[in-house]
A = this chain, B = another copy of it.
Amino acid sequence: MSAPIPTLTEDLARLLNPGQVSAGESILEQHSHDESYHRGGRPDVVVFPESTEDVVKVVRYAAEHQIPVIPFGTGTGLEGHVVPVRGGISVDLTRMNRILEVRPDDFLVRVQPGVTKNQLNDALKRYGLFFPVDPGSDATLGGMAATNASGTTTVRYGAMRDNVRALQVVLPDGRVIQTASLAAKSSSGYNLTALFVGSEGTLGVITELWLKVYGIPEKTVAARAQFRDFQACVNAATAIVGAGIPVARIELLSQEFVTAFNKYKGVNFPVVPTLLIEFRGSEQGVQIDVELAQEIARDEGCLSFDFVIDEEARHEMWEMRHNALYAFMHQFPGLGHMSTDVCVPLSKLPDACTFAQRRLQETGVRGAIVGHVGDGNFHVSIAIDTNDPADVQRVHAFNEEVVHYALQLGGTCTGEHGVGLGKMKYQELEHGPALAVMRAIKAAIDPQHIMNPGKLIDEIPH
């Protein structure tokens, strides 16, 4: 890296407009962290591009002066992806928030990266369409692509990688590429789309996305299934998905989460492990699916299986699920948040979940399990006292145990949150010699290491 440039803010204000550049204290602070406990740097300046051309100007300037570029969306990440560990330019993309094109006949939309998932879905309603990928927060679609986000509906519709048809990307030297055509399939050239999805801003800045959208299904039914113990709950989830029932969502809440919900929302759900399930399809199809799922849940000793048919009640239920993290953290004012995010082959899920549950009890870590169990992905949400070295050590040790166990089972250290700062230490163990290939790709595309340095697999050269 070169020395700091004293005229950085002025230079960028000249390249863009003064209203698009800020080095104000509160702006720098806001762009120095996400929703996780990760801290450790702030940007030298924040820019607010309004077009691809603006991004090109900023990136070219950064390349010329070897200044780090850190793309920033809503700042709702959970692994410190947006923390400017070496200062630089935080590129806030929230002003690039236009839906550029809706092509109902092709089930495609073209959006700018600052459009959020809720904004897109509101706009799609009048076409009878929706975009399925559904992480906890109302993140920007650019940020969701950058981390290969997924969420509650992935069991049915896939993750971001499955739902991005093509990206426009500004490369680390300012060139602009489109990663793919709009064809539903292609065998032409290397697949760059899947490479840039999940690259966490380390290969370029995403400036446009072509996304797959879906017809809103005729019928949607949700259900809440309650179980006496955790094991039965996990087993039921695994069995329902294993039976091939095309559930649209199947989410597990440990009883600690139900407690947190009840407190947070002033409600009174039975404090037992619970599955939240959603079925979508034709009237008849949904009925068949529901009956089969109910039967399996009963076989696993389900205490009750309650339907939530009314749209508003269903919306409330999923809002509650999306607020799980806040509800949990609400119990621990002043503490930071950490979340484990392992994903394992479905048959190993009961094993992995039970292990985490047992180690929570044994270690005294303040955590609770919630999960996208249809994908084999679950989180332990953890309250961490970053001022207490003993707690930090205990929590890190727990996280490490959960990750190592998942890797042994053929899983990954992160199913959807991404690597960011928090999971870099597991990359060697998870990928082995494949990590060198990733590093070679990084070096080939970003030889100056200016794109979000120090994240994902990028050990900054000294």
The verdict on A181 contacting chain B, using a C-beta distance below 8 Å, is yes
Q: Digitize A103-118: 1 where CB-to-B-CB distance is under 8 Å, 0 elsewhere.
A: 1011110000000000
Q: Which residues of B contact A443 (CB under 8 A)?
A: 444
- Are A434 and B192 closer than 8 Å at their CB atoms? yes
Q: Digitize A192-210: 1 where CB-to-B-CB distance is under 8 Å, 0 elsewhere.
A: 1111011100000000000
Q: Digitize A160-203: 1 where CB-to-B-CB distance is under 8 Å, 0 elsewhere.
A: 01100000000100011111111111111111111101110000
The verdict on A395 contacting chain B, using a C-beta distance below 8 Å, is no
The verdict on A76 contacting chain B, using a C-beta distance below 8 Å, is no
Q: Which residues of B contact A190 (CB under 8 A)?
A: 195, 198-199, 438, 441-442, 456-457
The verdict on A152 contacting chain B, using a C-beta distance below 8 Å, is no
Q: Which residues of B contact A179 (CB under 8 A)?
A: 434
When all copies of this chain in the complex are counted, the total is: 2
- Are A181 and B457 closer than 8 Å at their CB atoms? no
Q: Which residues of B contact A435 (CB under 8 A)?
A: 189
* Interchain nearest-CB distance for A356 vs B (Å): 15
Complex Cα distance A417/B188, Å?
9
- Nearest 7 A-B pairs (CB), nearest first? A194-B194, A105-B347, A444-B444, A182-B410, A186-B412, A183-B343, A177-B434
Interface residues of A (CB under 8 A from B): 103, 105-108, 147-150, 154, 158-159, 161-162, 171, 175-195, 197-199, 215, 242, 244, 282, 284-285, 288, 341, 343-348, 375-377, 407, 410-419, 423, 426-427, 430-438, 440-445, 456-457
11 CB < 8 A contacts A-B: A159-B185, A177-B431, A184-B345, A185-B343, A188-B427, A190-B441, A190-B442, A191-B195, A282-B285, A440-B444, A444-B444
